[in-house]
Amino acid sequence: MELFNDLLLGFSVALTPANLLYGFLGVLLGTVIGVLPGLGPVATISILLPVTFALPAPAALIMLAGIYYGAQYGGSTTAILVNLPGESSSVVTAIDGYQMARKGQAGLALATAALCSFIAGTLATLVIAVAAPALAEVALDFGPADYFSLMLFGLVAAVILAHGSVVKAIGMILVGILLGTIGIDANTSLERYTFGIPAFGDGIDFAVIAMGMFGIGETISNLGQSEGGRSFVKEVHGLWPRWADIKRFIKPALRGTFLGGCLGLLPGGGPVLASFSTYALEKKLSKTPGEFGKGAIEGVAGPEAANNAAAQTAFIPMLTLGLPSSAVMALMIGALMMQGLSPGPQLMNQRPDLFWGLIASMWLGNLMLVVLNLPLVGIWVKLLSVPYRMLYPAIMLFCCIGVYSINNNALDVMLAAIFGGFGYLMKRLHCEPAPLLLGFILGPMIEETLRRALLISHGDPMVFLQRPISLSFLVLTVLLLVVLIAPMIRVTRQRAFEESTD
């Protein structure tokens, strides 16, 4: 009954006309930018982030969640119509989705993706509503030492996110942590690495780094590649699936939801792992595995449901523990902090309106996606036919306006430009920007919990091993490190990602 009341509170927040409008705007803007090839959810959220800073906290989070779902769905649309996945979690969708589109089933593929995402989204939202309060209850007992070990675990798990070298990914995390120390030290009020620039006193805005490394850096990479003759499917018809189609995709969608929902909970697991493993599972279960890769509807349904379910359940560790399991969640935490809120177990008690409002709007966001995207599919197709050379200057202009409007500070724009160049060069060195962002967000929290834990224990580092919660996270971290470094697994991991980086 309590759950019912909580959800009612959530819907009363999410259903106010203003919040409904912001959610709708978020889904719309997210889809518009997410549809553009080469811009995944992280870049989309980074670019649109400053738009939300002026809003009250619930509206801002609702809009961001809308942007996230929109961007993710926009990525699937591009994957199906252009065979150009905007992000690694829709790589799998492109395999069979594009083949379906080439066979004249573009409409069916898009509708399947939307409906399966909706089914997964609905179920995963329920899971969050049930599981998050319980987990938050447990997390209230966490001391500083436990948090420190948890975040260490989160960071190491995030290394799985990075393609390629583990050493480089950990290095990028450390660079991020180091960047996070810029500013006035909260404990001793001493300036660190500010170079005497007053604007650095509060540290670098994470939106500046995110927009620079993802928005600007990605654009430089895209410009380097030849635009070439992209062949995309312009004809979209037969949008509504027949009963026979529904019967074919409902089971893969449910299996994908389950698998994706579980994997999304793991830090570093996330949508990519979910969609890859669901695709493999469906192929194994199928009576006609030969159809996979040639336009099997199950190959679209399963992974789409899985990546959406994982995208949803990833909110659970973020909302209850303050632990971002992906770059997107790191951005969400950053947005919360911009609003003066600290994500963690207290959030649910301090701001129940925000917590439950967000959960309710997740479901509404999914509903809007179906209502919005299927009828508007013609517009997305048109948007795809706008040449990239017209689009990217617009994106750059939006980035500039966005960064400038955070603090009305021109220095931020110049910093973003520098981070853009830095992000591009690091990418050429095969270092991913996502771990850096995670390190930057978690760095200050790690330092704070480390200091507090050691202050309480009078400098005795054994405190991390004596507390059972802390110890279990440390053991998990060590296990993960062993698994990551074990050569056999490294080879398979590389193989899985090679497909996604093409």
Task: Give the integer Cα–Cα distance in Å for 249 and 131.
Answer: 27
Residue 28 binding another protein, by CB under 8 A: no
Residue 484 binding another protein, by CB under 8 A: no
Using CB under 8 A, which of the segments 16-24, 98-106, 364-372, 453-461 binds another protein? 453-461
How far apart, in Å, are the Cα atoms of 230 and each of 64, 224, 388? Answer: 31, 16, 11
Using CB under 8 A, which of the segments 26-34, 140-148, 161-169, 368-376 binds another protein? 161-169
Using CB under 8 A, which of the segments 62-70, 185-193, 279-287, 338-346 binds another protein? 185-193
Closest contact distance (angstroms) between CB of 429 and another protein is 5
Q: What are phi and psi of 230, to 5 degrees?
A: -80, 125
Closest contact distance (angstroms) between CB of 398 and another protein is 8
Please, are residues 315 and 265 in contact by the beta-carbon 8 Å criterion? no
Please, are residues 179 and 209 in contact by the beta-carbon 8 Å criterion? yes
Residue 148 binding another protein, by CB under 8 A: no
Using CB under 8 A, which of the segments 107-115, 117-125, 167-175, 249-257 binds another protein? 167-175
Residue 57 Ramachandran class (φ > 0 left, ψ -120 to 50 alpha, else beta): alpha
Residues of span 199-218 touching another protein by CB under 8 A: 216
* Identity of the amino acid at 373: N
Residue 119 binding another protein, by CB under 8 A: no
* Identity of the amino acid at 163: H
Angle at 22 between CA 134 and CA 355, to 5 degrees: 15
Beta pairing, strands 183-184 & 191-192: antiparallel
Residue 413 binding another protein, by CB under 8 A: yes
Give strand pairing partners of 183.
Answer: 192
Residue 321 binding another protein, by CB under 8 A: no
Residue 227 binding another protein, by CB under 8 A: yes
Residues of span 353-392 touching another protein by CB under 8 A: 389-390, 392
Q: Which of 198, 224, 229, 468 binds another protein (CB under 8 A)?
A: 224
Residue whose entry in the numeric block shows the structure tokens 């120390």:
181
Closest contact distance (angstroms) between CB of 204 and another protein is 15
Please, are residues 105 and 301 in contact by the beta-carbon 8 Å criterion? no
Burial of residue 153 (CB within 10 Å: 0-12, 13-18, 19+) is buried
Find, among 64, 46, 428, the residue nearest to 212 by Cα.
46
Closer residue to another protein in complex, CB, 232/404: 404
Q: What does the binding site for another protein look like in residue numbers (CB under 8 A)?
A: 51, 54, 165, 167-168, 170-171, 174-175, 177-178, 181, 185, 187-188, 190, 192-193, 216, 219-220, 223-224, 226-227, 389-390, 392-394, 396-401, 404-405, 408, 410-414, 416-418, 420-421, 424-425, 428-431, 443, 447, 450-451, 454-455, 457-459, 461
